Amino acid sequence: MLKALKYEILRDVKAGGHAVLLAVRPIRVATIINEDSFNEDQVLTHAKNVFMEDYVHDWNWDEKNGGQFRYYSRVAESADVLIVYEIDTNFNPPSKFDPMTGKSLIGA
Distance separating alpha carbons of residues 37 and 35, to the nearest angstrom: 5
In-domain check, residue 62: yes
For 62-104, write each residue's pLDDT tens digit.
999 899 999 999 888 999 999 999 999 999 887 778 888 888 8
Distance separating alpha carbons of residues 40 and 52, to the nearest angstrom: 18
* pLDDT tops 80 at residue 108: no
In-domain check, residue 98: no
* pLDDT tops 80 at residue 106: no
In-domain check, residue 106: no
* pLDDT tops 70 at residue 5: yes
In-domain check, residue 108: no
Read off the pLDDT band of 4 (50, 70, 90): very high
3-state helix, strand, coil in the chain (%, to 5): 10, 45, 45
pLDDT for 83 equals 98
Beta-bridged to residue 29, according to DSSP, are 83
Question: How many Cα atoms occupy the beta-carbon half-sphere of 27 within 13 Å?
Answer: 12
In-domain check, residue 50: yes
In-domain check, residue 101: no
Look up the domain containing 24 and give its range: 2-87
For 11-48, write each residue's pLDDT tens digit.
999 999 789 999 999 999 999 999 999 999 999 999 99
pTM for this prediction: 0.86
Question: Total structural domains in the chain?
Answer: 1
Distance separating alpha carbons of residues 78 and 11, to the nearest angstrom: 9
In-domain check, residue 63: yes
In-domain check, residue 72: yes
